A and B are shown apart, each in its own frame.
Chain A
Amino acid sequence: MVKIEAIVQTSRLDAVKEALLEAGIEGMTILEARGHGRQKGHTEFYRGREYSVDLLPKNKIELVVKDEMKDKTISAILGAARSGRIGDGKIFISRVDDVIRIRNDERGEAAL
C-alpha cells in the first residue's frame, strides 16, 4: 500500500477530485495548506509599505491506495493538476505499514 501526498494549486482542486473519482478512487483527505517551492509569492501593501507574502495557499490531498492503483492515481492527479507553470505543486509517495478501518477493525488492503 502506498501513501500519495499531492500538493496542488487551489484552482485545480475540483479537477483533481473529479479525475480521482473517475479513476475509481473514493477515499481521500483534503487539507488547506500554505507553502511554496521555487514559486515567488506576491506583494501586498499596508499603509504604503510594500511587503511580500511568500506563503501561498495550496491544497494537499492525501490518499492511501493499493500498489496496483498507484500508477493510475498518479496519472489522474498529474493530468488534472498540471498547468505547466511554476507553482503546480508536487507529489510525494511513501510506503504505508498498515491501514485499519475504525468502524469494524478491518486491516490491510481490505480496509482501503
Chain B
Amino acid sequence: MLRRTIKLLFLSALLAIPAVALAVAPDLKPSPPATQAQVAALQQAIRAAQTSGDNAWVLVSAALVLMMTAPGLVLFYGGLVRRKNILGTMMQSFAMMGLITVLWAVVGYSLAFGAGNGVIGGYEHAFLRGVSLAPNPNYGGTIPEQTFMIYQLMFAIITPALITGAFAERVKFSSMAVFLCLWSLVVYCPLAHMIWGVGGILNIAGGRWPVLDFAGGTVVHITSGVSALVCAIYLGKRVGYPQQNITPHSMVLSFIGAAMLWVGWFGFNAGSALGAGPLATSAFVNTQFAAAAAAITWVITEWLQNGKPTALGAISGAVAGLATITQASGFVQPMSALLIGAIAGVVCCFMVFRVKKFFGYDDSLDAFGVHGIGGTMGALLTGLLASGVINAVYGSDAAGNPLATGAIDGNWRQFLNQSIGAGLGWAFAIVGSLALLFLVDKTMGLRLSPADETQGLDLSQHGEEGYDLNS
C-alpha cells in the first residue's frame, strides 16, 4: 500500500515538471530593443548578484574566524594546560569575544579603519557612525561595510586571544581582561590602520612604505607573538617551571582545537580576498598547502631528533604553517606556499625545541615560537615570493602584464618594505606591551599569588572545576 502511494506521488511529480515549465515558459515573440532603463536595471541586478556571492563568502569567513577563537583556540590552548586551569584558559579567550566586540563597536573599528592620520584612525566612526550596509569602496567594494566591519572584528578578537598562550596558568582574570582590551587599542588598532587602513603609512595602496599583508601576518601574528614574548619575560616563569614536568592534560582537546584552527583559517585567509572570486581561491589553496607542508616538516624534524613523531608536533607544525602563510596567502603561487610551509615547520620546531630552552623564557603555549616567528618569516617571505601573476597589487602595464610585486618578479624593494612593516610590528608590540604591562601590574597586579597559581585558575579565579568526574 505504501509502495503504491510512493509510486503514485513520484509519477505525479514527474508529470508536474513539464506542466510547470509550460506555464512559466516565455513567449517566443521577438522583443523590442533594450532601453536605458532596462540596461540600468540589468547593471543593478549584476551588481546585486556579485554582492550576494561576495557577501555570502565574507560572512561565512567571519563565522569561520570566530570559530577559530572558540572553540578552536579555546580547545587548543585548553588541552595544553593542566586540568586545574582549563576553564580559566578558555575564559581568557572567551572574554575577548565579549569585550573586544563591544570595544570594536564603540571605538575600535574607527581607530583601525577610520581616516585619521598615517598611524591611527580617527573617531569619525565611533559607535559605528557612518558604517552602513552600503559598500565602502576602500574596504571591499562589493560588500556592505558592516560585513567588512564584522569580519575585521573577528581578527581583532583572536589577536589578543593568541597572547594568552604566553602567560597561561599564571595571570589574574580581571587584570588580563583590562590588559588585553588596552592592548587591542594601543597595538592592534595602529598596526591594522597602518597596513590596512586608508592613509596608513604601510598601506599597499599609497602608503609611504607599501607592505603586503594579505590576512594579517604582521597585524595579527607578529603583534600577538612578540607581545606574547614580552609578557612571558615580564611575568616570569610558572611556579615549578622548568624543573617540574608540566604537560598537557588533554592532547585530545588540543588536537580537535588545532583541526578547527586549520579549517577556520580558510576564512582567515581566503576571506581576506573580501570577495568570492579567484583571489579567494588562491588564498584558500595556499593556506592548505602551507599547513600540510609545515605539519610534515615539523614531524620529520621531530622524528629525526627524538625517534618518534608526536601528535603535538604535528598540530603545532600545521599551525606554524598557517601562521606563516597568512601574510602571503593572496600573493604567492601554490608551489611557493608549499615552500613557505616547509620552511615554517622546520624553523618553528627549532624555535620551540632549542631556542626557548636556550633563553629560558616560559612561553607556556609557544605563542611567540609559532606566531611571532611564523608571522615574521611570513612577512619577509612574502616580500620574496609575492607574484603579480596572482595579485597585481601594483597594477599592470600597457600590454596588460602585471607589474613586478615581489623579489621573485624582480622587485627587491618590496622585501625592504616588508622588513619595515615587520619592524614596526615588533616595535609597537614591544613598547606597547611593556607600557601596558607596567600600568596594569602596578595598579591591579597581573600575576597570581603562588597559592592561587598552585590551586589553579579554575578554582581561584572562577570558583569552578572544569571536570567534576564525581558529580
Contacts and interface: CB of A to CB of B under 8 A. Distances in A.
Contacts of A47: 312, 352-353, 356, 366
Interface residue range, chain A: under 10
Contacts of A49: 357
B247 A48 contact: no
A92 interface: no
B302 interface: yes
Contacts, number: 24
Contacts of A51: 245, 247
B310 A45 contact: yes
B122 interface: no
B248 A50 contact: no
A105 interface: no
A50 B306 CA distance: 8
B305 interface: yes
Interface string B359-386: 0000000100000000000000000000
Main secondary structure of the interface of A (DSSP, over half): strand
A48 B353 contact: yes
Contacts of A22: none
A33 to B, nearest CB: 16
Contacts of B352: 47-48
B247 A46 contact: yes
A47 B302 CA distance: 9
Main secondary structure of the interface of B (DSSP, over half): helix
Nearest to A47: B352
Most buried by A among B245, B302, B353, B357: B245
A49 B312 CA distance: 12
A46 B305 contact: no
A46 B306 contact: no
A46 B366 contact: no
A68 to B, nearest CB: 38
Interface in B279-335: 302, 305-306, 308, 310, 312
A49 B247 CA distance: 11
Nearest to B248: A46
A46 B245 contact: yes
A44 interface: yes
Interface string A2-40: 000000000000000000000000000000000000000
A49 B357 CA distance: 10
Interface in A38-97: 44-51
A48 B305 contact: yes
A3 to B, nearest CB: 25
A44 B310 CA distance: 10
A48 B352 CA distance: 8
A55 to B, nearest CB: 11
Contacts of B366: 47
A48 B248 contact: no
Nearest to B350: A48
A44 B248 CA distance: 12
B308 A45 contact: yes
B14 to A, nearest CB: 59
Contacts of A46: 245, 247-248, 312
Contacts of B306: 45, 48, 50
Nearest to B352: A47
A47 B366 CA distance: 10
A48 B245 contact: no
Interface string B165-207: 0000000000000000000000000000000000000000000
Contacts of B312: 46-47
A51 B353 CA distance: 14
B305 to A, nearest CB: 7
Contacts of A44: 247
Most buried by B among A45, A49, A51: A45
B403 to A, nearest CB: 44
Interface of B: 245, 247-248, 302, 305-306, 308, 310, 312, 349, 352-354, 356-357, 366
13 contacts: A44-B247, A45-B306, A45-B310, A46-B247, A46-B248, A47-B312, A47-B352, A47-B356, A48-B302, A48-B349, A48-B353, A48-B354, A51-B247
The 10 residue pairs across chains A and B that have the minimum distance between CB atoms: A48-B353, A51-B245, A46-B247, A45-B310, A45-B306, A47-B352, A48-B306, A47-B353, A45-B308, A48-B305
Given A45-B308, A46-B245, A48-B352, 14 more contacts: A44-B247, A45-B306, A45-B310, A46-B248, A46-B312, A47-B312, A47-B353, A47-B366, A48-B302, A48-B305, A48-B306, A48-B353, A50-B306, A51-B247
